[in-house]
Structure 1
Amino acid sequence: MKPIRSRHAPLLALSVVPVLLTAGCATAVHPGPTRADAAEVPAAAAFTSSPLRNRIRVHLEADVATVWALVGDHTRLPEYSAGLERVEASATGDERICHFRPAAPDEGSSSLREEVRWYAAGTGYATSAEEPNAFGITGDLTLVLVQPTAGGTAFTWEQHYDAEDLPAMKTAFDQALSDIAEQLVGRFGGRITERFVEGA
């Protein structure tokens, strides 16, 4: 498997949003997104059996409404993820397509289709990458959450998946999520409070 460049990992989201578009790719079939006004957060196990591989937690010095206005809008993901060129969100809100910047001048761009599995305004969302995909990930789940804290907002991004090259993917996601966290801190102020990599 070709080494995965860290700038491509964030939107395996970004966790995270529909597939490295190749003609004839099969679309994973999932129920439509569960939309909720309540702050109840579903367990990752409701969507995938893959373990938690990466997680970043950040304290941001802005209120939840301000943070959510950015991170709750899929199309604004490129504003805080260096590897993304643009993100398209479906009119129904049940999927997004992330278009990545070329990793090198002589390489073409790539895309990832993700299905929105759960969305609660002001609380969070969950997405899953279409299979098969060029990153070689399966059982993928991105879970993004915002919660009010004293003096700001706790932002969390969790990544569950299996992969053909698990060590390389863990490293790629770690670097990509760190980039996202650093950009959010640069925008709102704050600090990274957790940087988890399974087995590290």
Structure 2
Amino acid sequence: MKKRKRPNLPVIGLIGPTNIRRISQASGLPETLYRDSALNAGALIAKHQAIMAMVPDRGIAMSGLRGYSSAQGAWTIGLVPAGGPSDSVATPNCLENAAACDEVIDGFTWHHQHAAICELSDLLVCIGLSCGTLTEIAWTKWVHGPRVLALAETFTAIPTEILAETDVALIDSLDSLDTAIGRELSGGYKDKRQLKHVPS
């Protein structure tokens, strides 16, 4: 059987908390808000004919994957770290859930995962906030992108100090997220950073 090849489409990384229960208790926001927002974000990424990349552990990534798959998304990339500090269930979850992805990228540790998703993606969509998510946003400074579209109703705040050094757009609704993804992929952001996977 011939191996399928990744389509020549932009890559959107979906980032957000894995332990939704813990983050919900801390933020006071309902768990359903996180899951439903991720589900809809995944569907929007599919709608805009982009590849979706994520770490297929738990939480936001897996809800987003369900939404993307339900909307017949073109291609999924699972980043599967091994080694380094992580929750004990994280690597086994990733290894198991990677079977649902069209492509798996591995060979790096949890230390390097944050930079890896930034380097792979042309755009990041952020649903919710956690230590790992904030680290991924921070890494966009050091790898010079990509832009982050952060759904503001799914977190209490991103520190202004982080916003000062990164390119984060705070998005106020799923409808606005839809519009923002379309604008970014149609070239609205190409003046600052060429999309790596869009044919010229």
TM-score (norm 1): 0.29
More strand by share: 1
TM-score (norm 2): 0.29
User: RCO (CA 8 Å, sep 6+): is it higher in 1 or 2?
Assistant: 1
